[in-house]
Structure 1
Protein backbone atom coordinates (compact mmCIF):
# COMPACT_ATOMS: atom_id res chain seq x y z
CA UNK A 1 0.00 0.00 0.00
CA UNK A 2 1.31 3.41 -0.96
CA UNK A 3 1.94 5.78 1.94
CA UNK A 4 -0.71 8.39 2.61
CA UNK A 5 0.36 11.89 1.70
CA UNK A 6 0.49 14.39 4.55
CA UNK A 7 -1.45 17.53 3.78
CA UNK A 8 -1.60 20.87 5.54
CA UNK A 9 -5.11 22.35 5.67
CA UNK A 10 -5.53 26.08 5.49
CA UNK A 11 -6.72 26.12 9.10
CA UNK A 12 -3.27 24.95 10.19
CA UNK A 13 -1.51 27.90 8.60
CA UNK A 14 -0.77 30.51 11.27
CA UNK A 15 0.96 33.07 9.10
CA UNK A 16 0.87 34.05 5.45
CA UNK A 17 4.39 35.44 5.60
CA UNK A 18 6.97 33.40 3.73
CA UNK A 19 10.58 33.49 4.87
CA UNK A 20 12.82 34.40 1.96
CA UNK A 21 15.88 32.17 1.66
CA UNK A 22 18.93 34.12 0.43
CA UNK A 23 19.65 33.34 -3.21
CA UNK A 24 23.38 33.86 -2.71
CA UNK A 25 24.30 30.94 -0.46
CA UNK A 26 27.70 32.50 0.24
CA UNK A 27 25.98 35.04 2.47
CA UNK A 28 24.38 32.42 4.73
CA UNK A 29 27.43 31.86 6.93
CA UNK A 30 27.95 35.61 7.20
CA UNK A 31 24.36 36.05 8.35
CA UNK A 32 24.44 33.14 10.78
CA UNK A 33 27.75 34.40 12.17
CA UNK A 34 26.19 37.82 12.65
CA UNK A 35 23.36 36.22 14.63
CA UNK A 36 25.84 34.28 16.77
CA UNK A 37 27.84 37.46 17.33
CA UNK A 38 24.67 39.21 18.51
CA UNK A 39 23.66 36.35 20.82
CA UNK A 40 27.10 36.16 22.43
CA UNK A 41 27.16 39.94 22.50
CA UNK A 42 24.16 39.80 24.82
CA UNK A 43 26.20 37.64 27.19
CA UNK A 44 29.16 40.01 26.99
CA UNK A 45 26.87 42.96 27.73
CA UNK A 46 25.45 41.08 30.73
CA UNK A 47 28.94 40.45 32.06
CA UNK A 48 30.24 43.96 31.38
CA UNK A 49 27.26 46.12 32.27
CA UNK A 50 24.83 44.17 34.47
CA UNK A 51 26.77 41.85 36.75
CA UNK A 52 28.81 43.66 39.37
CA UNK A 53 30.30 40.80 41.40
CA UNK A 54 31.74 37.38 40.55
CA UNK A 55 29.48 35.91 43.24
CA UNK A 56 26.48 36.61 41.01
CA UNK A 57 27.83 34.03 38.56
CA UNK A 58 27.72 31.28 41.20
CA UNK A 59 24.42 32.13 42.89
CA UNK A 60 22.35 28.91 43.05
CA UNK A 61 18.87 29.41 41.61
CA UNK A 62 15.89 28.63 43.85
CA UNK A 63 13.66 27.99 40.84
CA UNK A 64 16.06 26.02 38.62
CA UNK A 65 17.90 23.66 41.01
CA UNK A 66 21.62 23.38 40.37
CA UNK A 67 21.64 26.29 37.95
CA UNK A 68 23.88 29.34 38.06
CA UNK A 69 24.38 32.14 35.58
CA UNK A 70 27.99 31.05 35.15
CA UNK A 71 27.07 27.46 34.30
CA UNK A 72 24.51 28.49 31.69
CA UNK A 73 26.92 30.95 30.06
CA UNK A 74 29.72 28.39 29.94
CA UNK A 75 27.46 25.61 28.64
CA UNK A 76 26.09 27.72 25.78
CA UNK A 77 29.46 29.18 24.84
CA UNK A 78 30.98 25.69 24.78
CA UNK A 79 28.73 24.65 21.88
CA UNK A 80 30.01 27.50 19.74
CA UNK A 81 33.60 26.78 20.79
CA UNK A 82 33.39 23.05 20.07
CA UNK A 83 31.96 23.70 16.60
CA UNK A 84 34.71 26.23 15.87
CA UNK A 85 37.43 23.88 17.13
CA UNK A 86 36.15 21.03 14.97
CA UNK A 87 36.25 23.21 11.84
CA UNK A 88 39.59 24.82 12.67
CA UNK A 89 41.17 21.44 13.44
CA UNK A 90 40.38 20.04 10.01
CA UNK A 91 41.22 23.21 8.07
CA UNK A 92 44.54 23.65 9.88
CA UNK A 93 45.65 20.20 8.73
CA UNK A 94 44.71 20.86 5.12
CA UNK A 95 42.05 18.16 5.23
CA UNK A 96 39.48 20.72 4.10
CA UNK A 97 40.78 20.19 0.56
CA UNK A 98 39.67 16.57 0.69
CA UNK A 99 36.22 15.06 1.08
CA UNK A 100 36.73 14.43 4.79
CA UNK A 101 33.89 15.96 6.83
CA UNK A 102 34.30 17.89 10.05
CA UNK A 103 33.82 15.61 13.07
CA UNK A 104 31.95 17.25 15.94
CA UNK A 105 30.88 16.17 19.43
CA UNK A 106 29.08 18.42 21.89
CA UNK A 107 29.68 15.82 24.60
CA UNK A 108 33.33 16.91 24.94
CA UNK A 109 32.45 19.94 27.05
CA UNK A 110 34.82 20.88 29.89
CA UNK A 111 32.98 21.84 33.06
CA UNK A 112 34.06 23.98 36.02
CA UNK A 113 36.08 26.37 33.85
CA UNK A 114 37.12 29.87 35.04
CA UNK A 115 34.32 31.58 33.10
CA UNK A 116 31.77 29.97 35.43
CA UNK A 117 33.14 31.95 38.36
CA UNK A 118 34.88 35.00 36.89
CA UNK A 119 33.31 37.91 35.02
CA UNK A 120 36.66 38.77 33.44
CA UNK A 121 37.23 35.19 32.27
CA UNK A 122 33.71 35.04 30.88
CA UNK A 123 34.15 38.18 28.80
CA UNK A 124 37.44 36.87 27.40
CA UNK A 125 35.95 33.45 26.60
CA UNK A 126 33.04 34.92 24.66
CA UNK A 127 35.25 37.35 22.76
CA UNK A 128 37.53 34.49 21.72
CA UNK A 129 34.52 32.46 20.57
CA UNK A 130 33.24 35.37 18.49
CA UNK A 131 36.66 35.87 16.90
CA UNK A 132 36.89 32.19 15.97
CA UNK A 133 33.51 32.30 14.23
CA UNK A 134 34.50 35.50 12.40
CA UNK A 135 37.67 33.79 11.16
CA UNK A 136 35.77 30.71 9.96
CA UNK A 137 33.18 32.86 8.17
CA UNK A 138 35.91 34.05 5.79
CA UNK A 139 36.20 30.66 4.09
CA UNK A 140 33.74 28.03 5.35
CA UNK A 141 30.60 27.40 3.24
CA UNK A 142 27.30 26.88 5.01
CA UNK A 143 27.03 23.37 3.55
CA UNK A 144 30.45 22.29 4.84
CA UNK A 145 29.85 18.61 5.74
CA UNK A 146 29.84 17.81 9.45
CA UNK A 147 29.43 14.45 11.17
CA UNK A 148 27.95 14.95 14.62
CA UNK A 149 28.65 12.14 17.08
CA UNK A 150 26.27 12.03 20.02
CA UNK A 151 25.84 10.05 23.22
CA UNK A 152 22.04 9.80 23.42
CA UNK A 153 22.05 7.61 26.52
CA UNK A 154 21.47 4.02 25.44
CA UNK A 155 22.85 4.62 21.94
CA UNK A 156 25.82 6.24 20.23
CA UNK A 157 24.81 8.09 17.08
CA UNK A 158 26.62 9.58 14.09
CA UNK A 159 24.50 12.15 12.26
CA UNK A 160 25.19 13.97 9.00
CA UNK A 161 24.73 17.72 9.21
CA UNK A 162 26.38 20.94 8.01
CA UNK A 163 28.33 23.83 9.48
CA UNK A 164 25.51 26.28 8.79
CA UNK A 165 22.91 24.12 10.49
CA UNK A 166 25.09 23.62 13.58
CA UNK A 167 25.96 27.31 13.76
CA UNK A 168 22.26 28.16 13.87
CA UNK A 169 21.70 25.42 16.46
CA UNK A 170 24.37 27.03 18.62
CA UNK A 171 22.50 30.33 18.62
CA UNK A 172 19.07 28.80 19.22
CA UNK A 173 20.54 26.67 22.00
CA UNK A 174 22.20 29.72 23.60
CA UNK A 175 18.97 31.72 23.50
CA UNK A 176 17.26 28.89 25.40
CA UNK A 177 19.91 29.13 28.12
CA UNK A 178 19.71 32.92 28.16
CA UNK A 179 16.04 32.54 29.10
CA UNK A 180 17.13 30.62 32.18
CA UNK A 181 19.82 33.21 32.89
CA UNK A 182 16.98 35.75 32.85
CA UNK A 183 15.16 33.80 35.57
CA UNK A 184 18.25 33.69 37.79
CA UNK A 185 18.99 37.36 37.13
CA UNK A 186 15.44 38.13 38.27
CA UNK A 187 16.12 36.32 41.53
CA UNK A 188 19.11 38.62 41.99
CA UNK A 189 17.03 41.70 41.25
CA UNK A 190 18.85 42.40 37.99
CA UNK A 191 17.13 43.96 34.97
CA UNK A 192 18.04 42.63 31.52
CA UNK A 193 17.38 43.85 27.99
CA UNK A 194 13.81 43.11 26.90
CA UNK A 195 15.01 40.77 24.12
CA UNK A 196 17.52 38.84 26.23
CA UNK A 197 16.61 35.15 26.03
CA UNK A 198 13.84 35.66 23.47
CA UNK A 199 13.95 33.70 20.20
CA UNK A 200 14.15 35.76 16.97
CA UNK A 201 10.93 34.16 15.70
CA UNK A 202 9.16 35.27 18.88
CA UNK A 203 10.50 38.81 18.55
CA UNK A 204 9.20 38.95 14.97
CA UNK A 205 5.88 37.51 16.12
CA UNK A 206 5.57 40.30 18.67
CA UNK A 207 6.28 42.87 15.95
CA UNK A 208 3.12 41.64 14.23
CA UNK A 209 1.10 42.65 17.29
CA UNK A 210 0.84 39.36 19.16
CA UNK A 211 0.72 39.43 22.95
CA UNK A 212 2.08 35.90 23.27
CA UNK A 213 5.18 35.41 25.44
CA UNK A 214 6.10 32.06 23.86
Structure 2
Protein backbone atom coordinates (compact mmCIF):
# COMPACT_ATOMS: atom_id res chain seq x y z
CA UNK A 1 0.00 0.00 0.00
CA UNK A 2 1.35 3.46 -0.93
CA UNK A 3 1.54 6.37 1.53
CA UNK A 4 -1.29 8.13 -0.31
CA UNK A 5 -3.45 5.01 -0.10
CA UNK A 6 -2.75 4.76 3.64
CA UNK A 7 -4.04 8.31 4.14
CA UNK A 8 -7.08 8.68 1.92
CA UNK A 9 -8.08 11.91 3.67
CA UNK A 10 -4.79 13.53 2.66
CA UNK A 11 -5.21 12.26 -0.89
CA UNK A 12 -8.76 13.59 -1.03
CA UNK A 13 -7.46 16.94 0.21
CA UNK A 14 -4.96 17.23 -2.62
CA UNK A 15 -7.48 16.28 -5.28
CA UNK A 16 -10.10 18.51 -3.65
CA UNK A 17 -7.77 21.49 -3.61
CA UNK A 18 -7.00 21.09 -7.31
CA UNK A 19 -10.64 20.65 -8.30
CA UNK A 20 -11.63 23.64 -6.13
CA UNK A 21 -9.18 25.88 -7.99
CA UNK A 22 -10.55 24.65 -11.30
CA UNK A 23 -14.05 25.29 -9.97
CA UNK A 24 -13.19 28.86 -8.99
CA UNK A 25 -11.82 29.44 -12.47
CA UNK A 26 -14.98 28.02 -14.05
CA UNK A 27 -17.11 30.15 -11.74
CA UNK A 28 -15.15 33.26 -12.68
CA UNK A 29 -15.62 32.51 -16.38
CA UNK A 30 -19.34 32.11 -15.74
CA UNK A 31 -19.44 35.69 -14.43
CA UNK A 32 -17.80 37.09 -17.57
CA UNK A 33 -19.28 37.81 -20.97
CA UNK A 34 -17.51 36.53 -24.07
CA UNK A 35 -16.17 40.04 -24.67
CA UNK A 36 -14.92 40.41 -21.09
CA UNK A 37 -13.15 37.04 -21.30
CA UNK A 38 -10.80 38.31 -24.02
CA UNK A 39 -10.70 41.99 -22.98
CA UNK A 40 -7.36 43.37 -21.82
CA UNK A 41 -8.10 46.40 -19.63
CA UNK A 42 -5.31 48.94 -19.84
CA UNK A 43 -4.83 49.09 -16.07
CA UNK A 44 -4.69 45.28 -15.75
CA UNK A 45 -2.19 44.55 -18.52
CA UNK A 46 -3.52 41.08 -19.35
CA UNK A 47 -6.74 39.28 -20.16
CA UNK A 48 -8.40 36.40 -18.33
CA UNK A 49 -8.26 34.17 -21.42
CA UNK A 50 -4.46 33.88 -21.52
CA UNK A 51 -4.26 32.92 -17.86
CA UNK A 52 -6.98 30.29 -18.26
CA UNK A 53 -5.20 28.72 -21.21
CA UNK A 54 -1.93 28.68 -19.30
CA UNK A 55 -3.48 26.94 -16.26
CA UNK A 56 -5.34 24.42 -18.40
CA UNK A 57 -2.08 23.67 -20.21
CA UNK A 58 -0.37 22.85 -16.90
CA UNK A 59 -3.13 20.55 -15.68
CA UNK A 60 -3.22 18.89 -19.11
CA UNK A 61 0.56 18.38 -19.14
CA UNK A 62 0.41 16.73 -15.73
CA UNK A 63 -2.49 14.47 -16.65
CA UNK A 64 -0.79 13.47 -19.92
CA UNK A 65 2.56 12.87 -18.28
CA UNK A 66 1.21 10.96 -15.30
CA UNK A 67 0.56 7.89 -17.41
CA UNK A 68 3.83 7.98 -19.33
CA UNK A 69 6.06 8.95 -16.43
CA UNK A 70 7.33 12.27 -17.83
CA UNK A 71 5.71 15.66 -17.27
CA UNK A 72 6.78 18.55 -19.48
CA UNK A 73 5.02 21.80 -18.55
CA UNK A 74 7.00 23.81 -21.09
CA UNK A 75 5.80 21.85 -24.10
CA UNK A 76 2.44 23.48 -24.67
CA UNK A 77 0.53 25.28 -27.36
CA UNK A 78 0.23 28.98 -26.83
CA UNK A 79 -2.78 30.79 -28.22
CA UNK A 80 -5.55 28.68 -29.68
CA UNK A 81 -9.24 28.38 -29.01
CA UNK A 82 -8.97 28.63 -25.21
CA UNK A 83 -7.69 32.19 -25.62
CA UNK A 84 -10.55 33.26 -27.88
CA UNK A 85 -13.64 31.21 -26.96
CA UNK A 86 -15.04 31.34 -23.42
CA UNK A 87 -17.42 28.44 -24.14
CA UNK A 88 -14.55 26.23 -25.26
CA UNK A 89 -12.59 27.22 -22.16
CA UNK A 90 -15.52 26.35 -19.89
CA UNK A 91 -15.90 22.97 -21.60
CA UNK A 92 -12.19 22.24 -21.33
CA UNK A 93 -12.12 23.27 -17.66
CA UNK A 94 -15.03 20.91 -16.98
CA UNK A 95 -13.19 18.07 -18.72
CA UNK A 96 -9.92 18.72 -16.88
CA UNK A 97 -11.77 19.02 -13.57
CA UNK A 98 -13.47 15.65 -14.11
CA UNK A 99 -10.12 14.06 -14.96
CA UNK A 100 -8.48 15.54 -11.87
CA UNK A 101 -11.39 14.41 -9.68
CA UNK A 102 -10.80 10.85 -10.93
CA UNK A 103 -7.18 10.79 -9.71
CA UNK A 104 -6.83 8.02 -7.11
CA UNK A 105 -4.55 7.76 -4.07
CA UNK A 106 -2.47 5.19 -5.97
CA UNK A 107 -2.13 7.65 -8.88
CA UNK A 108 -0.82 10.34 -6.53
CA UNK A 109 2.09 8.16 -5.44
CA UNK A 110 3.16 7.36 -9.02
CA UNK A 111 6.71 8.64 -9.73
CA UNK A 112 7.24 11.03 -12.64
CA UNK A 113 10.18 12.84 -14.16
CA UNK A 114 9.55 16.56 -14.63
CA UNK A 115 11.30 18.34 -17.49
CA UNK A 116 11.91 22.05 -16.98
CA UNK A 117 13.51 24.73 -19.11
CA UNK A 118 15.75 26.65 -16.69
CA UNK A 119 17.26 29.44 -18.79
CA UNK A 120 16.75 31.50 -21.93
CA UNK A 121 19.14 29.24 -23.85
CA UNK A 122 16.58 26.44 -23.46
CA UNK A 123 18.55 24.24 -21.09
CA UNK A 124 16.31 21.42 -19.86
CA UNK A 125 16.72 19.69 -16.51
CA UNK A 126 15.01 16.52 -15.35
CA UNK A 127 13.88 16.15 -11.74
CA UNK A 128 12.07 13.34 -9.92
CA UNK A 129 8.67 13.90 -8.39
CA UNK A 130 5.31 12.24 -7.90
CA UNK A 131 1.91 12.89 -9.42
CA UNK A 132 0.68 14.03 -5.99
CA UNK A 133 3.45 16.59 -5.57
CA UNK A 134 2.93 17.85 -9.09
CA UNK A 135 -0.84 18.13 -8.60
CA UNK A 136 -0.14 20.35 -5.58
CA UNK A 137 2.25 22.43 -7.69
CA UNK A 138 -0.26 22.84 -10.52
CA UNK A 139 -3.05 23.82 -8.11
CA UNK A 140 -0.78 26.38 -6.38
CA UNK A 141 0.29 27.67 -9.78
CA UNK A 142 -3.37 28.02 -10.79
CA UNK A 143 -4.36 29.93 -7.65
CA UNK A 144 -1.67 32.49 -8.37
CA UNK A 145 -2.96 32.94 -11.91
CA UNK A 146 -6.46 33.28 -10.48
CA UNK A 147 -5.03 36.06 -8.28
CA UNK A 148 -4.10 37.87 -11.49
CA UNK A 149 -7.42 37.14 -13.22
CA UNK A 150 -9.48 38.55 -10.34
CA UNK A 151 -8.28 42.17 -10.66
CA UNK A 152 -8.75 41.95 -14.44
CA UNK A 153 -12.35 40.88 -13.92
CA UNK A 154 -12.88 43.57 -11.29
CA UNK A 155 -11.46 46.20 -13.68
CA UNK A 156 -14.18 45.08 -16.07
CA UNK A 157 -16.84 45.67 -13.42
CA UNK A 158 -17.35 42.04 -12.36
CA UNK A 159 -18.07 41.39 -8.66
CA UNK A 160 -15.77 38.48 -7.82
CA UNK A 161 -16.00 36.60 -4.50
CA UNK A 162 -13.47 37.89 -1.98
CA UNK A 163 -11.76 34.50 -1.44
CA UNK A 164 -10.93 33.94 -5.13
CA UNK A 165 -7.21 34.14 -5.84
CA UNK A 166 -6.01 33.43 -2.32
CA UNK A 167 -3.90 30.41 -1.45
CA UNK A 168 -5.38 28.14 1.22
CA UNK A 169 -2.61 29.10 3.68
CA UNK A 170 -3.48 32.77 3.26
CA UNK A 171 -7.20 32.10 3.77
CA UNK A 172 -6.40 30.08 6.90
CA UNK A 173 -4.20 32.90 8.22
CA UNK A 174 -6.88 35.53 7.53
CA UNK A 175 -9.49 33.45 9.34
CA UNK A 176 -7.25 33.22 12.44
CA UNK A 177 -6.31 36.91 12.40
TM-score, normalization: structure 2? 0.89
User: Which one of the candidate residues 195, 198, 209 is aligned to 2:163?
Assistant: 195
Matching of residue 184 in structure 1 with residue 164 in structure 2: no
The whole-number CA distance in structure 2 between the counterparts of 1:60 and 1:43 is 17
User: Which one of the candidate residues 136, 152, 156 is aligned to 2:118?
Assistant: 152
Q: Deviations over 1:45-102 (max 9, x none)?
A: 1122x11x2111211132343x2100001111211111011123x3xxxxxxxxxxx1
Q: The residue matched to 1:107 in structure 2 has which SS?
A: coil
The whole-number CA distance in structure 2 between the counterparts of 1:127 and 1:76 is 13
User: Which one of the candidate residues 32, 41, 57 is aligned to 2:23?
Assistant: 41
Tell whether the 8 Å contact from 1:79 to 1:170 is kept in structure 2 after alignment: yes
Question: 1:163 is matched with which residue?
Answer: 131
User: Which one of the candidate residues 56, 65, 90 is aligned to 1:77?
Assistant: 56
Q: Deviations over 1:96-150 (max 9, x none)?
A: xxxxxx101100111112122222111111111011112332641x331111011
The whole-number CA distance in structure 1 between the counterparts of 2:37 and 2:148 is 13
How many correspondences in the alignment?
172
Structure (1 or 2) with the greater helix fraction:
2
Matching of residue 207 in structure 1 with residue 152 in structure 2: no
Q: Shift in Å at residue 24 of structure 1? A: 3.2
Matching of residue 57 in structure 1 with residue 23 in structure 2: no
TM-score, normalization: structure 1? 0.75
Unaligned residue ranges in structure 2 (runs of 5+): none
Rate the CA distance shift 1:120–1:23 in 2: closer, same or farther, 3 A. Answer: closer
The whole-number CA distance in structure 1 between the counterparts of 2:92 and 2:14 is 20
Q: Deviations over 1:174-201 (max 9, x none)?
A: 0100011011112101110111001100
Q: The residue matched to 2:74 in structure 1 has which SS?
A: helix
Tell whether the 8 Å contact from 1:69 to 1:184 is kept in structure 2 after alignment: yes
Unaligned residue ranges in structure 1 (runs of 5+): 1-21, 91-101, 210-214
Could you say what the CA RMSD is over the residues aligned between the two structures, in angstroms? 1.8
Tell whether the 8 Å contact from 1:55 to 1:117 is kept in structure 2 after alignment: no
The whole-number CA distance in structure 2 between the counterparts of 1:123 and 1:23 is 31
Tell whether the 8 Å contact from 2:15 to 2:101 is kept in structure 1 after alignment: yes
